[in-house]
A and B are shown apart, each in its own frame.
Chain A
Amino acid sequence: MNLSNHIPILIIAIPLLAAFLVPLIGRINKKATGILTTLALSVSLIFTIALAVKILTVGPQVYVFGATSPSLTLPSGLKFPIRIMLQIDAMSIFMGLITAVISFFGAIYSLSFIKKYDGVDKYYSLLLLLTVGMFGMEFTGDIFNFFVFLEIASIASVALISFRGVDYGEPAEAGFKYMMVSSISALMVLFAVGIFYGQYDLLNFAAIASMIKYSQLDKIALGLLIPVLAMKAGAVPMHMWTPDAYSEAPAPITMILVAASQASLYALFRIVFSLYNISLNALTVGWIIIIFGLLSMFIGVTMAIVQKDIKRLMAYHAVSQTGYMLLGVGVGLAVLANPVALQKYGITAMEGGIFHIMNHAMYKGLLFLTAGALFFRTGTRDLNKMGGLAHYMKYTTIFFIIGAAAIAGLPPFNGFASKLLIYESVYRFNPLLSIIAMVVSILTLASFVKVFHSAFLGPKLPQFKEVKEVPRSMVFAMAVLSCIIIFFGLFPDLIVKNLVHPAVMSLIEQLQYTGTVLGGM
């Protein structure tokens, strides 16, 4: 049995197995639960890096469940695939790398953060299930399988958001709102799956993509899928669950929830680009996504300036940065049918948007971890009550400065590289969009200067006299994320040439996607 053929399913299966072992081990020894979680997620991380190297050198890979060999997509005598399969190309493994890194560091950070709560073994089990759901959403090649993994991720994240709901009321309220919103979205996705099945009698992404004719029912399915998946990603005007859910969850879970929202964004791009491609009216749908992006950017950042709760402020910034990704990819979609414009600036706009996904996961994760460190030591999230903490928590201050400079788009960090790609290419499409994006960037810097001044600067306050630095596992997680941010900022061309550009090309070229499954038909 050649192990390297089975890596895709092992990435999903090992955290799933660990998720069910953790409560059993929790009965014997409480500390072993955290260590088992970290081990399982590190194995997933190593396998994901190995798979990324293989896909970027050899080509996209398919893994069929239940066949005699993992790449037997078409059973004998049939012209279309009938088994469930995982289909991994450059865009999927890009998102998979983000998920693996973020959940691994979330687990390391939780080793010290979650120690004083009850029910720690259930927390780790749910964290592993959330990771399984995210990996499944990103790797699957089957549209109903996508629905199942979407529901797994939603249910696990609701239980994690209301983790502190035993003692306080607000996490339960945030969990209820998130559950209702994600139920509506998952059921509408299932309705669209039903529409596709009723028309084509197929459930496989590549098979539907090769046979799609843009009939009236397909328009209804597209019109259902776009707002619902944009809502799961946190686009305005359906963004109101984002500050509630992100502020009440424990800090490492907020970081993993950011990656889960980006998995829904990946699903939106996959459906619009690989399933429909040129058969839809690219200009209309592109402008719809651009308008989502503009509204998210502007309303997200203006609501963020007036907040008093530090995690609510950062959650509004997450909404605003999602707008950048939607803007970049929307411009790429709007010129998809126009090959001259696509070569000139469409591909660069999509590179900017997709590079921004990875940058955003890194620096937003770092910022949420620093907010969690402040909450861990001071017990409050209210900016009015904090002050002068830079005297006591020196490492946290340095990591916060790096994160805030990255999100505001200051050189030489990685936020500047992806924002520059978006500004320069969107300007050639329509100058007004680029100007709004730059104004939003200035307001982002303004609100983080506000947070830095209220929480870290100022004289020493007497009520924080015993505040020390946070424990070592939390500092380790924040330090590695900062190193990744600095590395991406100094050498952005390595990442863009090797990871982002193949991802963009695999989204634009639909024939490569269907050819992997259907054998070049």
Chain B
Amino acid sequence: MLGLLETGSGFWSAIIWIVLVLVIGSIVIYIRNKGEDSYKKNTEQDKPFISGNPEESKESSHLSANHIYWGFTEALKGYYNPLVKMHTGNINDYSSWIIMLTVIILIVIGVSG
């Protein structure tokens, strides 16, 4: 009934995990709700702090898919540029990869068994 999955070196049970998340989560929410409640609602104190700069509209600050993870792709440019260039889309290259790999595997299996 508990849904216990035995791996070779331990076990995993999703139901025990959910029960634990609910228990610990409710303790965390209870502690959080005992916070500071002497602030004035719906005034300046309720908004996020952006150092007095004007707040931009939501439409203009939405990142499109090209620009997400720019830092990651820019840092790994030495790995990405040859990799994307290898995916040429040319059909002769597709068959070249297959034939080269078949030859390599035939040699490996023929030599070492």
Direct contact of A and B (CB under 8 A): yes
Identify the A interface with B (CB < 8 A): 176-177, 180-181, 184-185, 188, 216, 219-220, 222-224, 226-228, 231, 237-238, 240-241, 244, 280-281, 284-285, 288, 299, 302-303, 305-306, 308, 344-345, 348, 383-384, 387-388, 411-412, 416-417, 420-421, 424-425, 428, 446, 450, 453-454, 458-459, 461, 489-494, 496
Q: Which residues of B contact A (CB under 8 A)?
A: 3-10, 12, 14-15, 17-18, 58-59, 62-66, 68-69, 72-73, 76, 79-80, 83-84, 87, 89, 91, 93-95, 97-98, 101-102, 105-106, 108-110, 112-113
In the bound complex, residues from chain A placing their C-beta under 8 Å from that of B98 are 181, 184-185, 227-228, 231, 238
B87 touching A240, Cβ below 8 Å: yes
If A420-B12, A424-B8 are given as contacts, then 14 extra A-B residue pairs at C-beta distance below 8 Å, sorted by A number, are A180-B91, A223-B108, A226-B109, A227-B101, A303-B87, A306-B80, A348-B7, A420-B7, A421-B5, A453-B63, A454-B65, A489-B14, A490-B3, A493-B5
Asked if B105 and A446 sit within 8 Å, CB to CB, the answer is: no
Known interface pairs A224-B102, A454-B64, A492-B3; A425-B8 also in contact (CB < 8 Å)? yes
B105 touches A424 (CB 8 A): no
Candidates B10, B59, B87; contact of A424 at CB < 8 Å: B10
Q: Are B9 and A424 in contact (CB under 8 A)?
A: yes
User: Which residues in A have their C-beta under 8 angstroms from that of B97?
Assistant: 237-238, 240
Q: How far is the CA of A237 from the CA of B102 in the complex (A)?
A: 11
CA A383 – CA B65 in complex, angstroms?
6
Give Cα A458–Cα B95 distance, bound, in whole angstroms: 43
Q: Answer whether A458 and B109 are a contact pair too, CB < 8 Å, given A412-B18, A492-B14.
A: no
A227 touches B68 (CB 8 A): no
The answer to whether B18 touches A306 (Cβ under 8 A) is no
18 intermolecular pairs with C-beta atoms under 8 Å apart = A188-B102, A224-B102, A227-B105, A231-B98, A240-B89, A281-B112, A288-B108, A288-B109, A303-B83, A305-B73, A306-B73, A383-B64, A383-B65, A424-B7, A428-B9, A446-B72, A490-B3, A493-B3
Q: How far is the CA of A304 from the CA of B45 in the complex (A)?
A: 42
Chain B's closest residue to A417 (CB) is: B5
**Given A306-B84, A493-B6, A223 and B109 touching (CB < 8 A)?**
yes
In the complex, are the beta carbons of A223 and B102 less than 8 A apart? Answer: yes
Q: Which of B9, B15, B63, B91 contacts A490 (CB 8 A)?
A: B15
Identify the 5 closest CB pairs spanning chains A and B, nearest first: A281-B113, A383-B65, A412-B14, A223-B106, A459-B58
Q: In the complex, are the beta carbons of B105 and A223 less than 8 A apart? A: yes
The complex places the Cα of A285 from the Cα of B112 at a distance, in Å, of 10
Does A180 lie within 8 Å of B83, measured CB to CB? no
The answer, among B17, B59, B101, B112, for a CB contact under 8 Å with A284, is: B112
Residue of A nearest to B101 (CB): A227
Contacts of B101 in A (CB 8 A): 227, 237-238
B94 and A241 contacting across the interface, CB-CB below 8 Å: yes
Contacting residues, chain A, for B59 (C-beta < 8 A):
459, 461
B30 CB, min distance to chain A CBs, angstroms: 23
A461: B residues at CB distance < 8 A? 59
Residue of A nearest to B79 (CB): A302
Q: What A residues does B63 contact at CB under 8 A?
A: 453-454
Give the complex CA separation of A490 and B3 in angstroms.
6
Residues B65 and A308 in contact, CB atoms below 8 Å apart: yes
Given contacts A238-B97, A303-B83, A421-B7, is CB(A288)–CB(B105) below 8 Å? yes
B102 lies within 8 A of A227 (CB): yes
Listed residue (B80, B83, B109) with the most chain A CB atoms within 10 angstroms of its CB? B109
Contact B7 A425 (CB under 8 A): yes
B73 touches A219 (CB 8 A): no
Given A384-B64, A450-B69: A428 in contact with B12 (beta carbons within 8 A)? no
Report the minimal beta-carbon distance from B65 to chain A, rounded to whole angstroms: 4
Decide: B15 and A226 in contact? CB cutoff 8 A: no
Residue of A nearest to B4 (CB): A493
Question: What CA separation (Å) do A425 and B110 show in the bound complex?
Answer: 30
Closest chain B CB from A393 CB (angstroms):
18
Task: Identify the interface centre among A446, A490, A496: most chain B CB within 10 Å of its CB.
Answer: A490
Measured between beta carbons, the chain A residues less than 8 angstroms from B106 are: 220, 223-224
* Min CB gap A263→B, angstroms: 19
Contact of A412 among B17, B73, B79, B108 (CB under 8 A): B17
Given known A180-B91, A305-B73, contact A459–B62 (CB-CB < 8 A): yes
Residue of A nearest to B66 (CB): A384
- Checking B5, B68, B93 against A454 with a beta-carbon cut-off of 8 angstroms, the contacting residue is B68
Distance to closest chain B CB from A35 (angstroms): 38
Separation of A133 and B62 alpha carbons in the complex (Å): 46
CA distance A307 to B62 in the complex (A): 18
Asked if A450 meets B6 with Cβ closer than 8 Å, knowing A219-B109, A223-B102, A227-B98, the reply is no
Residues of A within 8 A of B10 (CB): 424
Interface contact A302-B80, CB-CB below 8 Å: yes
**B64-A177 in contact (CB<8A):** no
Q: Considering residues B4, B7, B12, which has the most beta carbons from chain A within 10 angstroms of its beta carbon?
A: B7
